[in-house]
Amino acid sequence: MTMNTKHKSYQCANGAILSYRLPSEQMVNTFECAIEEQAFSENSLLSFDFVFAPYNIESTPVLWLKYIKPIENLVDAFELSMMDNYCISKEEYLEQGKIIIEKLQFEEINKLVYSRVSSVYSTDIQITKFFDDLLNKYPDAFCYFLYIPGKMCWMGASPEILLTRDADEYATVALAGTKSTENNIDSVEWSQKELDEHSYIERYLDSVLSINLVSFDKSEKYTSSAGAMFHIKSDYRFSSKLDSDTLIRELHPGPALTGFPKMEAIHYLNDFENHDRKYYTGFLGPIGPLKKWSLYVNLRCMEICKEGYLIYLGGGYTKSSSAEAEWNETELKATTMKAIINA
């Protein structure tokens, strides 16, 4: 797999802080952690308590967390790093968007997920308040906060499962399309472009599971809500004796994060994206030897820095896309984090 390799390398660190809450649960789990960098493997999935993986797990060390001790209360005493990513202007984004749409007319690519980074400058950074607000505002999302002193600080509220596991029982989802929740869920209508995007993800998941001789149950597609947004969703459930790292490598990064066909889309993203996705569109979640895991795609997230925030956003382009509409979709997705920053 060929992807951008602009990620930083983080040295092993103790004294990191992790806080997270699973969707629809009340308990918030907060720990001081030790962190190790290792290649992605089944052994690590079984040996550590939590994984924080980047977009590109092939060329960048995955961060594996081991709980040291629980923490009762977070205190705003964080040593933050400087902003270090490229933030595209709207004008440049629209120009790039038009080029992407033109290429999609002639190339054998049905969909390309083009991402960007948006900066919000602030001198009033209240991390513990932001996380409390995030937990209260998005009870059905996987909410997390991860801080490594002087190196990185991330926060997010993901609506999307990558893979859950309970012994040999697994679940994943096909998620696509984004609309505001201003309307009633029963009145939401999806365009053919949005339905096509969802279909590409289903086709990929169907293929991956079938090639690996995994029989699966798939729900009908339906409209689901996540925070201030609606999405098209279908649920997959299956049993498998395959190693989990094999399944995860097949599923990540899928067409929901790259495009379809996947490898061709990744090739083009290397040319079009001038920023580093870092841990955006990676995955994270609790793991361990009991084989009861919950891994989520790192969407609706931000990096907290000394000068403010870097919000990571993306949208799916097809031949029928409008660059302006895709920009507006990323702005809608930004409201998940901006609602917390501006509260």
Domain annotation covers residue 99: yes
Cα 121 → chain centroid:
23
**Residue 8: inside a domain:** no
Q: Which residues pair with 153 in a beta bridge?
A: 147
Q: Measured between alpha carbons, how far is residue 318 from residues 164, 188, 259, 328 in Å?
A: 29, 21, 9, 15
Q: Are 32 and 9 in contact (CB under 8 A)?
A: no
Going by C-beta distance under 8 Å and a sequence separation of 6 or more, which residues neighbour residue 156? 143, 144, 298, 299, 300, 301, 302, 337
**Where is average pLDDT lowest: 71-80, 119-128, 213-222, 235-244?**
71-80
Is 134 inside any structural domain? Answer: yes
Report how far Cα 227 is from the mean position of its chain's Cα atoms.
15
pLDDT category of residue 6 using cuts at 50, 70 and 90: very low
The verdict on residue 41 lying in a domain is: yes
Say if 263 falls within a structural domain: yes
pLDDT, tens digit, for every residue of 24-70? 899 999 999 999 998 899 999 999 999 999 999 887 789 999 999 99
Closest Cα to residue 272, out of 112, 89, 91, 119?
112
Name which of 71-80, 106-115, 179-188, 276-285 the model is least confident about: 179-188
pLDDT at 271 over 90: no
* pLDDT at residue 261, as a whole number: 94
Q: How many domains does the chain have?
A: 1
Question: Position of tokens 């493997």?
Answer: 41
Decide if pLDDT at 245 tops 60.
yes
* 17 in a structural domain: yes
Q: What is the pLDDT of residues 149-194, one digit of tens each?
A: 988 999 999 999 999 999 999 999 999 888 887 777 877 889 998 9
Q: Identify the DSSP state of 107.
A: S
Percent of the chain with pLDDT over 90: 74
Lowest pLDDT segment from 199-203, 204-208, 219-223, 224-228: 224-228
Establish if 66 belongs to a structural domain.
yes
- Per-residue confidence (pLDDT) for residue 274, from 0 to 100: 93
The pLDDT, as a whole number, for residue 12 is 43
Residue 106 has, within 13 A of its CA and on its CB side, a CA count of 4
Share of the chain above pLDDT 70, in %: 95
Confidence band, pLDDT 50/70/90 cuts, at residue 14: low
Confidence (pLDDT) at 11:
42
* Predicted confidence band of residue 205 (pLDDT cuts 50, 70, 90): very high
Domain containing residue 61: CATH number: 3.60.120.10
Q: Which single residue is written with the structure tokens 């859950």?
A: 164
The whole domain housing 45 covers: 13-341
Q: Is residue 1 part of a domain?
A: no
Counted residue by residue, the chain has a size of: 343
- Please measure the distance between the N-terminal and C-terminal CA atoms of the chain and give it in whole angstroms: 41
